Amino acid sequence: MFSFTYIPRRSNFRGIKQRVWQIAAVELSTVANIATALTVLTAVVFGVIETRRARKEREERAAFVAVQAILTPAWMESMSLVQAISEGTTPSQIEADPRLFKAAQSIACILESLGYAVFARMVPLKVVDELLGGTVRVAWRKLRGYVE
């Protein structure tokens, strides 16, 4: 009438308990490493998005400044005079008419300023082309003989 029951030894139970805590500690450090990696990745993605947004905002601001610089009464009057120049007008004919000469000089100065702004990368070439591409081409066609 002996009955044998299994009674675990205390030392064995402590070993299992320690292993469970070690596994839990490893899992916790793994979770912390993953959380750190996700945080860094999120920060990089946010930085890239903000950089793109800031670049786009800068281009829009530059376009606004370009429009403000051009849409002046002097620009409008000068451009209307230059557009009215007939094909084949000689440089001496342009210089003979004071209003036309002043208009040509005004257009040249404004476009020179915009050219420098593009060169210095203050205004993207794409923005200037979209805003003034047609007007600049007309001015060049009319004033080419005078400029060269």
Q: Determine which helix (DSSP H) or strand (DSSP E) holds 4, and give its type and residue range.
A: none
148 pLDDT higher than 90: no
Sign of CA dihedral 61, 63, 66, 70: negative
Contact (CB, 8 A) for 131 and 63? yes
Percent of the chain past pLDDT 90, that is, above it, reads 16
Q: What is the pLDDT of residues 83-126, one digit of tens each?
A: 888 887 888 888 898 999 999 999 988 888 888 888 988 788 88
Confidence of residue 4 (pLDDT cuts 50, 70, 90): low
Q: Which of the residue ranges 22-31, 45-54, 98-107 has the most confident prediction, judged by mean pLDDT?
A: 45-54
Residue linked to tokens 């040509």: 104
Indicate whether this model's pTM tops 0.75: no
Confidence of residue 64 (pLDDT cuts 50, 70, 90): confident
> What does the domain layout of the chain look like in residue ranges?
10-147
Q: What is the mean pLDDT of residues 7-26?
A: 60
pLDDT of residue 142: 87
Written in H, E and C, the secondary structure of 39-105 is HHHHHHHHHHHHHHHHHHHHHHHHHHHHHHHHCCHHHHHHHHHHHCCCCCCCHHHHHHCHHHHHHHH
